[in-house]
Amino acid sequence: MPEVQTPFDAARLDRLMEEAGIDVLLATSKHNVQYLLGGHRAIFFDYMDAMGLSRYLPVVVYPKGAPDKAAFFGHRLEGFQREVKPFWTPEQQTNSSGAVDVMKKATDYLKSSGVAAKRIGIETTFMPMDSGAALKSAMPDSEIKDALVVLERQRLRKSPQELAMLKTASEKVIDAMMATIAQSGPGTTKAEITETLRREEVNRGLNFEYCLIAAGTSHNRAPSPQRWEEGDVLSVDSGGNYHGYIGDLARMAILGEPDSELEDLLGEIETIQRAAFKPIKAGVGGGEIYSAGEALVAKSKQHNNLDFLAHGMGLVSHEAPHLTNHGPVPYTDEDAHRPLEAGMVISVETTLKHPTRGFIKLEDTIAVTEAGFEIFGEGGRGWNKGGTAARV
What are the sequence ranges of the domains in the chain? 10-154, 160-391
Q: Which one is the CATH code of 160-391: 3.40.50.970, 3.90.230.10, 3.40.1360.10, 3.40.630.30?
A: 3.90.230.10
Distance CA 199, CA 182 (A): 14
Confidence (pLDDT) at 93: 98
Distance of CA 206 to the CA centre of its chain: 14
Phi/psi region, residue 261 (left: phi>0; alpha: psi -120 to 50; beta: rest), is alpha
Per-residue model confidence (pLDDT) at position 389:
83
Q: Which own/partner pairs from 158-162 qualify as long-range (CB within 8 Å, at least 24 positions apart)? A: 158/314, 158/343, 158/344, 158/345, 158/367, 159/8, 159/343, 162/245, 162/314
For the chain, the residue count is 392
Is 310:290 a contact under the CB 8 Å cutoff? yes
Tens-digit pLDDT string for the chain (392 aa):
568 999 999 999 999 999 999 999 999 999 999 999 999 999 999 989 999 999 999 999 999 999 999 999 999 999 999 999 999 999 999 999 999 999 999 999 999 999 999 999 999 999 999 999 999 999 999 999 999 999 999 999 999 999 999 999 999 999 999 999 999 999 999 999 999 999 999 999 999 999 999 999 999 999 999 999 999 999 999 999 999 999 999 999 999 999 999 999 999 999 999 999 999 999 999 999 999 999 999 999 999 999 999 999 999 999 999 999 998 999 999 999 999 999 999 999 999 999 999 999 999 999 999 999 999 999 999 999 999 986 54
Q: What is the β-pairing status of strands 119-122 and 24-27?
A: parallel
Q: Which of 382, 364, 354, 367 is nearest to 249 (CA)?
A: 364
Q: How far is CA 240 from the centre of its chain?
A: 10
- Residue 225's pLDDT is 98
Distance, in Å, from the CA atom of 49 to the CA atom of 54, rounded to the nearest integer, reads 9
Q: How far apart are CA 301 and CA 323, in angstroms?
A: 25
- How many CA atoms does the CB half-sphere of 19 hold within 13 Å? 11
Q: Kindly report the backbone phi and psi dihedral angles of residue 41, in degrees, each rounded to the nearest multiple of 5, phi listed first.
A: -135, 135
Helix 129-138 × helix 99-113 angle, to 10°: 30
DSSP state of 206: P
**What fold does the segment set 10-154 form as a domain?**
Creatine Amidinohydrolase; Chain A, domain 1 (3.40.350)
The pLDDT of residue 390: 61
CA 132/CA 344 separation, integer angstroms? 32
Neighbours of 72 (CB within 10 A): 25
pTM above threshold 0.75: yes
* Residue type at 22 in one-letter notation: I
Check: CB of residue 169 under 8 Å from CB of residue 140. no
